[in-house]
Structure 1
Amino acid sequence: MSKYLLNKFLFTVDRDPDLVERYREDPRATVTMWEDTYANRILNCTDGESSTWLRFDDVEREALATHDYPALFELGAHPFLTLTLFIAMFERDHEPLGFQTEYARRLGHMTLPYPDIAT
């Protein structure tokens, strides 16, 4: 499991409106494409800089592919990154603050101490 890679996915997708829409409409294909294309790029470097070993495990891949933000939180994804990306994708489907309320409701079973979000 790589909290770094989960957070990198959430961070990079959230900053690209086309990727946000692609992830909303076809999450499984977007996760596969992102993993093949972006996972091993080094953030803030030229395209020629990359690593070779970063991959999601099956649990992470499934949570991302099904938009399961409670599972992502339980896996240690940073809650700010999940919230901002999922607001961008789903706020339009709810009344004002409706998605934020739904997010809080679905994470309501969590108690302190929360999962470690350190990478």
Structure 2
Amino acid sequence: MSKYLVDKFLYTVDRDAELVERYRDDPRGTVAWWEAERANAVLNCHTGEASTWLRFTDAEREALAEHDYVALFGLGAHPFLTLTLFIAMFERDHTEPLGFQKQYAVRLAHFDLPYPDIAT
């Protein structure tokens, strides 16, 4: 798994309100666009530097396109990055306070220690 690239996606999308909405409304299209246009940009670099080799695996691409944060966690995506982005996208769909956070915890409850490695 290219944990760096998945975490970079989660980090960059979460920091742009328009991208959050785009990802919520069109996850598959947003993932394809981001992988083609942004994946190889150097993080936090505005000078036009880029690499050429970064690509999602099929499992990563599918988990991102399906908003499947449980699969992303299992693949080693950083749990704080998944949680903050998915809160931004889905907390509004819950009427109970901390509704999404509680759902996140329940859906990840089957994981036992040690958790998947989140080192990049």
What TM-score, normalized to structure 2? 0.97
Q: Equivalent residue for 1:12?
A: 12
Which moved further from structure 2: 40-49 or 70-79? Answer: 40-49
Q: How does 1:1-119 map to 2 (within 5 A)?
A: 1-94=1-94, 95-119=96-120
Distance in 1 separating the partners of 2:93 and 2:54: 33
Q: How many residues align?
A: 119
Runs of 4+ in 1 over 4 A off after TM superposition: none
Distance in 2 separating the partners of 1:44 and 1:82: 19
Distance in 2 separating the partners of 1:47 and 1:74: 35
* Structure 1 runs not aligned, ≥5 long: none
Distance in 2 separating the partners of 1:47 and 1:76: 30
What TM-score, normalized to structure 1? 0.98
* Structure 2 runs not aligned, ≥5 long: none
Contact 1:41 1:47 survives alignment (8 Å): no
Distance in 2 separating the partners of 1:96 and 1:10: 24
Share of identical aligned residues, percent?
A: 76
